[in-house]
Amino acid sequence: MQLTAHKLKPSRGSKHAPKRVGRGNASGHGNYSTRGGKGQTARSGGSHRLALKAFKRMMQSTPKLRGFNSHRPSVGEVYLSALDKNFADGEIVTFAALKEKKMVRIGDKKAKIVVNGKLTKKLSLTGIACTKAAKEAIEKAGGEVK
């Protein structure tokens, strides 16, 4: 079969009707005829909204942390009076025991004993930091700090 000039056709899907703009809002291409608005919306980069400005203002007004502090372990403070209330006489106090009795927070990596109240029981502390005054008070009550 031989093709002749009068039988040639364009490929299927290669031809379509042109977009009819400016024919009213019902057509979907009314008002600005797909060209956008004048002014800020017609310029490049002119798409900032009020929400972004408010976010920037909020970020600028919040206080910023100074220095490198992202890896500082959180230390939970425990009072002598709390030890006296939660532990029995002669008991060994460890960090795990403090966590078990919920005397330090979940995120705390260490604990430190601070003087506040009185200690009347003989306790043995292992692997827990304490202040000088707290150490003296524990040893005065007959306990020991390792």
Q: Which of 93, 145, 95, 83 shows the shortest CA–CA distance to 120?
A: 83
Q: Does domain 75-145 have CATH number 3.10.105.10?
A: no
Please state the φ and ψ torsions of residue 113, each to the nearest 5 degrees: -85, 130
Tell me the pLDDT tens digit for each residue of 61-102.
887 777 766 667 788 899 999 998 999 888 899 999 999 999
Domain ranges of the chain: 75-145
- Quick one: which H or E segment has residue 93? strand 92-93
Tell me the pLDDT tens digit for each residue of 5-52.
888 889 999 999 999 999 999 998 988 888 878 887 777 776 666 677
Neighbours of 105 (CB within 10 A): 10
For the whole model, what pTM was predicted? 0.50
